[in-house]
Amino acid sequence: MDRLKEECGVFGIFNNKDAAALTALGLHALQHRGQEACGIVTFDEKKFHAERRLGLVGDNFTKGKILDKLPGSSAIGHNRYSTAGNNLIRNVQPFYADLHFGGIGIAHNGNLSNALYLRKELVKNGSIFQTTSDTETIVQLIAKSKRSKIIDRIIDALFKIQGGYALTLLLNNKLIGIRDPFGIRPLIIGKINKSYVLASESCALDIIGAKFIREIENGEIVIITEKGIESIKPFPKIKERPCIFEYIYFSRPDSIIKNTSFYEYRKKLGVELAKESHIESDLIIPVPDSGVPAAIGYSEQVKKNVQLGIIRNHYVGRTFIEPTQQIRSLGVKLKHNVNKTLIKNKSIILIDDSLVRGTTSVKIIKMLHEAGAKEVHLRIASPPIKFPDYYGVDTPNKNELLASKNNLDQMKKIVNAKSLKFLSIQGLYKAMGYESRNTSFPQFTDHCFTGDYPIKPLDANEKNFVDNQISFITSKS
């Protein structure tokens, strides 16, 4: 897929007799944040229970039979798409461990930028890791802490780790939510009847009918017990700097942040895009489904209707035919098809939310031309992506990012568009409601466009260590 990928969605609920079922529903609403695997850990006042599966929530956590294996009134859950750690079942979250003070479950959205560095130290001192995931590093640090109170052990660990993280932790009498000091990854608090809920996005509250309470702040630890909510802020106070890609396309369009739905943020991106780079043409066509909200904003701005010129096949499974070379040369259209009679002899404005490798644009523009389109003007509702991410967004290597090696004119030629325009950085910040980007302390984590990284990624140097260290390939059944 020619897309950036979110690494995960997390969920947690405390003191609710349907804890596992509600967690499954919450994860289902967050399914767009990770489709490789999912898991739930519950606590039933005596023991912890865990079920972790490859695949979708709806295919794995739907039956009474599996929910019966997850008794208890508190739960955390996790949807996984992950670069750190391969897709073996042993890396599926939530991670669980029996520590000296009792059990601990942890679900993590984000990525630590010094996990391997820390792992190396821990292994040298005798720790044995059972996964290749960075999440385990946090738990190993907690296990090693010399502090006596659990919260102090957790803070000990937080002071060592770096990167983007939104965590839900389940202990034997508390549910904890944590966001990293910059608030790169999102985490919100909701409430259903008397039960507090933690979730990556508000759509996970909507599905179960929970009310939105507030965001967890950047650098905040929220501890939920029978007595209620407690908040700790162990880090020096700084302004938040959330990941801009949540606004551009990770979050579900119906999720809401700061009183505005992501659908509306994206329409505004389309409005700004139209202001910057509109050109007369016969049709405005979004790349489905990613370009639709921006295209609607664009079309409102230029007062011309959107058209469904490209149709998406909703039944595309995870894998499909690896066609023979002969078949491949036919240019198989597994995922998209063009609405031929609409497109023929027309000039087209084609709108998408972003451009990563460019392969999708190349394919769709080729399809449009073959169907008889006169000319295609490609408009991208975000700036060119030039730099990789290290805090929880799965970006290709720098040299696979089309914009990192090519200028605008070269890209135009590669995708074979008549014209190509990106939204400017200023346009992006305007759409988000700011007059301009604060260059000394940007309002968003936007290094993929600007190269302005909030945290230095230490692990880049540790790659070799890992290749040697994690020598183990296993499968079970």
Using CB under 8 A as the binding rule, the residues of this chain from 373 to 412 that contact a copy of itself are none
Helices (H), 161-308: 203-206, 244-245, 262-277, 292-302
Binding residues for a copy of itself restricted to 281-300, rule: CB under 8 A: 289, 292-293, 296, 299-300
Asked whether 415 and 378 are in contact (CB, 8 A), the reply is yes
Q: How far is the CB of 32 from a copy of itself (least distance, A)?
A: 7
Stretch that binds a copy of itself, among 47-55, 274-282, 377-385, 414-422 (CB under 8 A): 47-55
Q: How far is the CB of 84 from a copy of itself (least distance, A)?
A: 16
How many CA atoms are closer than 13 Å to the CA of 394, on its beta-carbon side?
A: 18
Rounded to 5°, angle at Cα 79 from 152 and 6: 95
227 binds a copy of itself (CB under 8 A): no
Separation in Å, CA 352 to CA 206, 341, 411: 27, 22, 15
Residue for token digits 């039960």? Answer: 195
Name the DSSP class of 374: S
Stretch that binds a copy of itself, among 18-26, 233-241, 395-403, 414-422 (CB under 8 A): 18-26
Rounded to 5°, angle at Cα 475 from 471 and 477: 160
Stretch that binds a copy of itself, among 52-60, 159-167, 271-279, 432-440 (CB under 8 A): 52-60
Q: How far is the CB of 280 from a copy of itself (least distance, A)?
A: 18
For residues 454 and 122, what is the distance between their CA atoms, to the nearest angstrom?
A: 26
Q: In the set 10, 19, 84, 96, which binds a copy of itself (CB under 8 A)?
A: 96
Residue among 32 and 179 whose Cβ is closer to a copy of itself: 32
Residue among 186 and 383 whose Cβ is closer to a copy of itself: 186
Catalytic residue status for 203: no
Of 8, 203, 243, 448, which one is the catalytic site residue?
8
209 binds a copy of itself (CB under 8 A): yes
451 binds a copy of itself (CB under 8 A): no
Please name which of 104, 142, 133 lies closest in space to residue 8, comparing C-alpha atoms: 133
Q: Kindly state the number of chain residues that form the binding site for a copy of itself, as judged by CB under 8 A.
A: 113
Please name which of 110, 112, 114, 80 lies closest in space to residue 94, comparing C-alpha atoms: 80
Q: How far is the CB of 218 from a copy of itself (least distance, A)?
A: 23
Residue among 140 and 395 whose Cβ is closer to a copy of itself: 140
Separation in Å, CA 278 to CA 177, 285, 304: 44, 13, 12
Amino acid identity of residue 424, one-letter, is S
323 binds a copy of itself (CB under 8 A): yes
326 binds a copy of itself (CB under 8 A): yes
Asked whether 361 and 415 are in contact (CB, 8 A), the reply is yes
Binding residues for a copy of itself restricted to 135-174, rule: CB under 8 A: 139-140, 143-145, 172
For residues 415 and 282, what is the distance between their CA atoms, to the nearest angstrom?
A: 20
**Stretch 238-267: interaction string toward a copy of itself, x if CB under 8 A:** --------------xxx-x--xxx-xx---
For residues 180 and 186, what is the distance between their CA atoms, to the nearest angstrom?
A: 9
Residue among 53 and 357 whose Cβ is closer to a copy of itself: 53
> Could you give the residue numbers annotated as active site?
8
